[in-house]
């Protein structure tokens, strides 16, 4: 059972994909939609705006394009180029289209696309999707143990509200429970402050634990 989490409403970015469904890992477009990246087909986008009365209809903010369909992407006609993320084979991008800002291998998965989109759109990009949480955490450091609250979680780290002060750079152990995955224990380091809370980065995480966290994040996003 997934613990109910209310995701903050994110600003929607409109993306158009010149690619078949099979060019994406299952559910990837749906999850990205939950994260504020609404991916449409060219036909859906045209239908959405064909009756737009505004003098300057909205343009897509990004194109996701199977490299074999680059010729289908319309020219920018004197406007700022719309950036392209190319979906490619194992050898990466071929050709010299200046609109291409990055490329991922087909079928494109959530994390690879999310990283690139963050690089395109965000001043402070994340490497993995993050969800708000309300999880109890046991913290351990130098023989001491205390309870804290986890306010958000990603594969790479979390936001912690702790009654015990911890300087930046502090290393500690965390133990917490996730639905289905059970009890997890891992090491983390205090990387930044988001007053009054602390941003922790996970270190040396076992792949099975990272997969469990990633699975939980994905499940919550799909259920939201």
* Tens digits of residue pLDDT in 103-126: 899 999 998 899 899 989 988 788
Residue 7: pLDDT band with limits 50, 70, 90: very low
Residues in contact with 55: Cβ distance below 8 Å, sequence separation at least 6, in sequence order: none
Residue 161: pLDDT band with limits 50, 70, 90: very high
Among 33-47, 72-86, 89-103, the least confident range = 89-103
Question: Residues 79-105: what's their mean pLDDT?
Answer: 86
**Based on C-alpha coordinates, what's the Rg of the chain?**
20
- Cα–Cα nearest to 80, from 96, 98, 102: 98
What percent of the chain is predicted at pLDDT more than 90?
68
Neighbours of 67 (CB within 10 A): 20
Structural domains for the chain:
13-121 (3.40.50.2300), 131-223 (2.40.10.220)
Residue with tokens 């969800």: 131
* Residue 170: both structure tokens together: 């502090």
Question: What's the rounded Cα separation, in Å, for the pair 46 and 14?
Answer: 12
- If you average pLDDT over every residue of the chain, what do you get? 88
- Cα–Cα nearest to 209, from 132, 163, 153: 153
């Amino acid at each position: 059972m997934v613990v109910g989490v209310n995701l903050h409403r994110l600003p929607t970015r409109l993306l158009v994909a010149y690619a078949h469904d099979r060019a994406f890992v299952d559910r990837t477009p749906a999850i990205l939609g939950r994260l504020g990246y609404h991916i449409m087909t060219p036909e859906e986008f045209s239908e959405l705006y064909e009756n737009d009365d505004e003098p300057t209809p909205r343009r897509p903010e990004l194109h996701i394009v199977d490299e074999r369909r680059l010729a289908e992407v319309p020219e920018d006609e004197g406007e700022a180029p719309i950036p392209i993320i190319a979906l490619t084979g194992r050898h990466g991008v071929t050709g010299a289209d200046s609109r291409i800002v990055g490329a991922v291998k087909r079928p494109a998965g959530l994390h690879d696309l999310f990283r690139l989109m963050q690089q395109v759109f965000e001043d402070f990009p994340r490497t993995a999707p993050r969800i708000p949480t309300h999880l109890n955490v046991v913290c351990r450091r130098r023989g001491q143990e205390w309870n804290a609250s986890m306010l958000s979680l990603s594969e790479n780290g979390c936001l912690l509200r702790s009654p015990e002060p911890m300087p930046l750079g502090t290393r500690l152990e965390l133990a917490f429970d996730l639905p289905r995955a059970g009890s997890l224990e891992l090491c983390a380091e205090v990387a930044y402050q988001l007053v009054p809370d602390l941003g922790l980065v996970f270190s040396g995480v076992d792949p099975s634990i990272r997969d469990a966290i990633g699975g939980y994040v994905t499940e919550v996003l799909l259920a939201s």
